[in-house]
C-alpha cells in the first residue's frame, strides 16, 4: 500500500538519498544505471572534465582521532611545560613533569576514546535492533516515515510511492535505508573502539615529544622552552598542512590556525605559572 502524501517531518539531503540507495540497492535487488543516448547534451567537454580523485579510503572515519590525538599532545604538553617553567621549575623537574604528563595524557586519551566510541557503538546497535522490531510489528508506520524522508528530498508522490514499494519487499533493505536516513549510520564509516583508542593514545605521545625532548638535552629552562615552542609550532603547522591536504582546503591558513591557538595558550600558561609561583612564594 502506498503511503499517503504528507508534509515531511525531517530534512534529508539528496546526498543522503544517493548514499541510501547505494547501500540498499544490492539487498532489494534493484540497481539503477545511467546511460547517455546519442544526441543527449553533455554539460562538460571531455577536455574540461577534472581528473578522477580517489577517496581517502578506510582511514576516513579515524581522522578525528588522528587530529585530536596529535593536536592534544602538542598543545596540552606545551601548555604544561610553559606553566611549570613559568612557575620556576628547574630542567630536571620540568622533564619529570613532562614525562608524567605525557604518559598520563596518553592513557587518559586512549581510555576515554575507547569508552566513548564503544558507548556510541552500543547505543547505535540498540537503536538498530529496535528498528528491526519496528519494521516487523509496526511496518506501516516505518513505511510512512520512510516515505516522508524521501518526500523531503523533493521527489514526487508517485516516485515516493514507487521507491517505498520497492523497500517494502525487503526487510533488510528497509532496515539499511532507515540506518542511513534516520540514524546516519553507514557501516563503512563506523569506527573500531580499539583502533580509535590506539590512534588517540599513541598520537598524543608523539605530539608530547616536541615539548619534552628539549629538556633531555639542556639544563637551561629558557632555552628548553624556546625549543619546545619552536618544535611544537612546526608540529602544529605540519598537522594543519596534512589536514588541509586531506580536506582539500587552504594549506597555509590551516597550518597558521593551529599555530596561533597553541601560541596564545602557551603564553597564557606561562603567565599563569608565574602568577601562581609568585603567590605561593
For the chain, the average pLDDT equals: 81
In terms of residues, how long is the chain? 281
Is residue 24 scored above 80 in pLDDT?
A: no
Question: Would residue 4 count as lying in a domain?
Answer: no
Cα separation, 281 vs 128, in Å, equals 59
Q: What value does the mean pLDDT take over residues 18-30? A: 50
Q: How many angstroms separate the CA atoms of 271 and 274, rounded?
A: 5
Q: How far apart are the C-alpha atoms of 141 and 85, rounded to whole Å?
A: 63
218 neighbors 91 (Cβ within 8 angstroms): yes
| Lowest model confidence (mean pLDDT) among 15-19, 127-131, 249-253 | 15-19
Exposure string over 3-40, b if 16+ CB within 10 A, otherwise e: beeeeeeeebeeebbebbbebbbebbeeeeeeeeeeee
Cα separation of 179 and 177, whole Å? 5
Residue 269 lies in a domain: yes
pTM of the model: 0.69
Which pLDDT band, with edges at 50, 70 and 90, does 276 fall under? confident
Calpha distance 74→239 (Å, rounded) = 10
Asked whether residue 50 is domain-assigned, the answer is no
Give the pLDDT confidence of 94-150 residue by residue, as tens digits.
Answer: 999 999 999 999 999 999 999 999 999 999 999 999 999 999 999 999 999 999 999
Instruction: Report whether pLDDT(238) > 70.
Output: yes
Predicted local distance difference test score (pLDDT) of residue 41: 55
* pLDDT tens-digit map of 135-192: 999 999 999 999 999 999 999 999 999 999 999 999 999 999 999 888 888 777 788 8
DSSP category for residue 208 = H
* Chain centroid offset of residue 220 CA: 40
| Cβ 204 vs Cβ 77: under 8 Å | no
Output the pLDDT for position 166. Answer: 93
DSSP 10: S
Q: What angle do CA 99, 104, 110 make, to 5 degrees?
A: 125
Is 280 domain-assigned? Answer: no
Residue 51 has pLDDT above 90, yes or no: no
Q: Is the pLDDT of residue 245 over 90?
A: no
Range of the domain at 245: 14-20+60-274
- Strands, DSSP E only, in the chain? none
CA distance 102 to 215: 14
Could you say which DSSP state residue 43 is in?
Answer: S
Distance CA 148, CA 153 (A): 9
Count of domains for the chain? 1
**86 vs 202, which has greater pLDDT?**
202
Q: Is the pLDDT of residue 59 over 60?
A: yes
Residue 161 resides in a domain: yes
Of the pLDDT bands very low, low, confident and very high (cuts 50, 70, 90), residue 253 is confident
Any domain includes 6: no
pLDDT confidence of residue 79? 86
Residue bearing cell 572515519: 61
* Residues 81, 82, 84: CA angle, nearest 5 degrees: 65
Q: Is residue 112 part of a domain?
A: yes
Percentages helix, strand, coil for the chain (3-state, rounded to 5) are: 75, 0, 25
Lowest mean pLDDT across 106-115, 149-158, 202-211, 249-258: 249-258
Residue 176 domain-assigned? yes
Amino acid at each position: 500500500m502506498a503511503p499517503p502524501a504528507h508534509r515531511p517531518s525531517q530534512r534529508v539531503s539528496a546526498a543522503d538519498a544517493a548514499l541510501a540507495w547505494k547501500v540498499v540497492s544490492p539487498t532489494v535487488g534493484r540497481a539503477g544505471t545511467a546511460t547517455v543516448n546519442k544526441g543527449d547534451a553533455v554539460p562538460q567537454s571531455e577536455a574540461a572534465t577534472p581528473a578522477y580523485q580517489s577517496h581517502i579510503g578506510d582511514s576516513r572515519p579515524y581522522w578525528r582521532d588522528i587530529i585530536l590525538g596529535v593536536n592534544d599532545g602538542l598543545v596540552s604538553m606545551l601548555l604544561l611545560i610553559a606553566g611549570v617553567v613559568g612557575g620556576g621549575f628547574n630542567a630536571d623537574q620540568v622533564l619529570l613533569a613532562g614525562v608524567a604528563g605525557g604518559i598520563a595524557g596518553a592513557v587518559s586519551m586512549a581510555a576515554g576514546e575507547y569508552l566513548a566510541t564503544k558507548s556510541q557503538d552500543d547505543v547505535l546497535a540498540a537503536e538498530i535492533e529496535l528498528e528491526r522490531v519496528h519494521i516487523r510489528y509496526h511496518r506501516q508506520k516505518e513505511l510512512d516515515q520512510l516515505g516522508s524522508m524521501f518526500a523531503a528530498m523533493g521527489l514526487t508522490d508517485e516516485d515516493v510511492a514507487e521507491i517505498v514499494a520497492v523497500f517494502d519487499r525487503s526487510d533488510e533493505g528497509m532496515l539499511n535505508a532507515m540506518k542511513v536516513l534516520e540514524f546516519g549510520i553507514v557501516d563503512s564509516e563506523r569506527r573500531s573502539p580499539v583502533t580509535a583508542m590506539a590512534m588517540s593514545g599513541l598520537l598524543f605521545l608523539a605530539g608530547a615529544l616536541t615539548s619534552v625532548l628539549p629538556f633531555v638535552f639542556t639544563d637551561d629552562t629558557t632555552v628548553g622552552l624556546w625549543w619546545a615552542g619552536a618544535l611544537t609550532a612546526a608540529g602544529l603547522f605540519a598537522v594543519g598542512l596534512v589536514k588541509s591536504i586531506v580536506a582539500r582546503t587552504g594549506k597555509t591558513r590551516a597550518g597558521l590556525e593551529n599555530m596561533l591557538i597553541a601560541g596564545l595558550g602557551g603564553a597564557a600558561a606561562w603567565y599563569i605559572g608565574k602568577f601562581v609561583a609568585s603567590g605561593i612564594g
